[in-house]
Amino acid sequence: MIPTDLAGIEQAVATGALPGWDRVEELVVEAHRRHSADDSGAVADYIPLLGAADPSLFGLAVVDASGGVHDAGDALHEFSIQSISKMFVYALAIQAHGHARVRDIVGVNNTGLAFNSVMALELNGGHPMNPMVNAGAIATTALMTGADADEKWERIRDGLSAFAGRELPFDDEVYHSEMKTNERNRALGRLLSSYGRLTGDSDEIVDVYTRQCALNVTAHDLAVMGATLADGGVNPVTGERVVSADVCRDTLAVVAASGLYERSGEWLFEIGLPAKSGVSGGIVAVSPGKGAAGAFSPRLDSAGNSVRAQLAIGHLSRSLGLNLFASAPQARDAREGR
């Protein structure tokens, strides 16, 4: 565990802002245009219904922390949120239980293994390690408050809808398609139970987890949801406070470490932003204080991350100055003022 002694120290914040609306609009349109011809990768089909997605779809959206909205291409096309739900349910769980408790139960370190790895769980004595892989996400869903599975599900649906600023529709067909083929997630749930790391009925929890993955979003929704985490927990479009600023900080740290599964280190190195992907082809990337990008295109690389979404967000990270690690020397007069 990292030693910390932060009691009584106020969280100070120092972040910049995005360029003006017109410039952001121009860059979003440009990023979309530049990567629309790329047709590498393959549509996921381990959940049968996902295999039917139209691979030519490509949506891109940016929402800035002051509520400015930019959509390009198929930004309003709906798809199931899948793994991207993990980060928002995690935020809701921290909001309910606090930083330390969720850290201890679910963990915050990358597994270095695939999102649905059973081995990762075995290697770590049944500790899921982080909430962005399936085992940790199932353990996080189990932490949702509510007397039973239905109440947990309602709170997840309401919470994710508050992040998006609209009631997110549930895709019954995707849910049933995944329920027929999710033995692996059920196995992860049972393993967690066998290690005493999941309270409640594991099949019921996996059912709720599968429901949360079947909520429909658009690239535009993802950008609004991400921008809520970029805006200290207040949805910049609706003005609603969804979670606290501390919860946003905690969530984005974990997303940075593990949001693109075993490629997370490479992603941070190349693109420099916390981002979360899902197998239906969505990615959301968040630049704290500035805003967020949502992208969608169904063709995935071998780690299960959308190729075009990675390209477009990488483009925007650079052109919009979203990369967390980029800096330029301060102007001379600012130095002289010291």
Binds ligand GLN by CB under 6 A, chosen from 159, 232, 278, 281:
278
Q: Is 272 in the site for ligand GLN (CB under 6 A)?
A: no
Residue type, 104: D
Integer Cα distance of 231 and 244 in angstroms? 10
In angstroms, the first-to-last Cα distance of the chain is 37
**Size of the residue set binding ligand GLN (CB under 6 A):** 11
- Angle 190-195-200 (CA atoms, 0-180°, nearest 5)? 55
Binding string, residues 307-326; x marks residues near ligand GLN by CB under 6 A? --------------------
Please, which residue, 28 or 260, has the CB nearer to ligand GLN?
260
Q: Annotated binding residue at 279?
A: yes
244 is an active site residue: no
Bin 243: left if φ > 0, else alpha if -120 < ψ < 50, else beta.
beta
What distance lies between CA 324 and its chain's CA centroid? Answer: 17
- Cβ atoms within 10 Å of 6's Cβ, excluding its own: 7
Tokens of 102: 């969720």
Q: Annotated binding residue at 83?
A: yes
Q: Which of 279, 284, 286, 307 is catalytic?
A: 279
Pick from 76, 94, 96, 97: nearest CA to 86: 94
Per-state percent for the chain, helix, strand, coil, to nearest 5:
50, 10, 40
Q: Annotated binding residue at 134?
A: yes
For the bound state, the minimum distance from the C-beta of residue 296 to ligand GLN, rounded and expressed in Å, comes to: 13
Q: Is 83 in the site for ligand GLN (CB under 6 A)?
A: yes
83 is an active site residue: yes
For the bound state, the minimum distance from the C-beta of residue 57 to ligand GLN, rounded and expressed in Å, comes to: 17
Please, which residue, 213 or 234, has the CB nearer to ligand GLN?
213
For the bound state, the minimum distance from the C-beta of residue 240 to ligand GLN, rounded and expressed in Å, comes to: 26
User: Do the beta carbons of residue 299 and residue 55 sit within 8 Å?
Assistant: yes
Site for ligand GLN in 233-252 (CB under 6 A): none
For the bound state, the minimum distance from the C-beta of residue 178 to ligand GLN, rounded and expressed in Å, comes to: 6
Q: Which residues contact 93 (CB under 8 A, 6 or more apart)?
A: 102, 106, 131, 140, 143, 144
Torsion of Cα atoms, 306 then 67 then 23 then 285, to 10°: -20
Q: Annotated binding residue at 85?
A: no
Site for ligand GLN in 187-226 (CB under 6 A): 213
Please, which residue, 46 or 269, has the CB nearer to ligand GLN?
46
Integer Cα distance of 302 and 297 in angstroms? 15
Integer Cα distance of 174 and 181 in angstroms? 11
Q: Annotated binding residue at 167?
A: no
Binds ligand GLN by CB under 6 A, chosen from 71, 178, 207, 250:
178
User: Do the beta carbons of residue 46 and residue 183 sit within 8 Å?
Assistant: no
Please, which residue, 208 or 237, has the CB nearer to ligand GLN?
208
Tokens of 133: 């892989």
Binding string, residues 109-148; x marks residues near ligand GLN by CB under 6 A? ------xx-----------------x--------------
Q: Which of 36, 80, 83, 297 is catalytic?
A: 83
Residue type, 133: V
Binding footprint of ligand GLN on the chain (CB under 6 A): 82-83, 115-116, 134, 178, 185, 213, 278-279, 304
Binding residues for substrate: 83, 134, 178, 185, 209, 261, 279
Give me the active site residues, please: 83, 86, 209, 261, 279
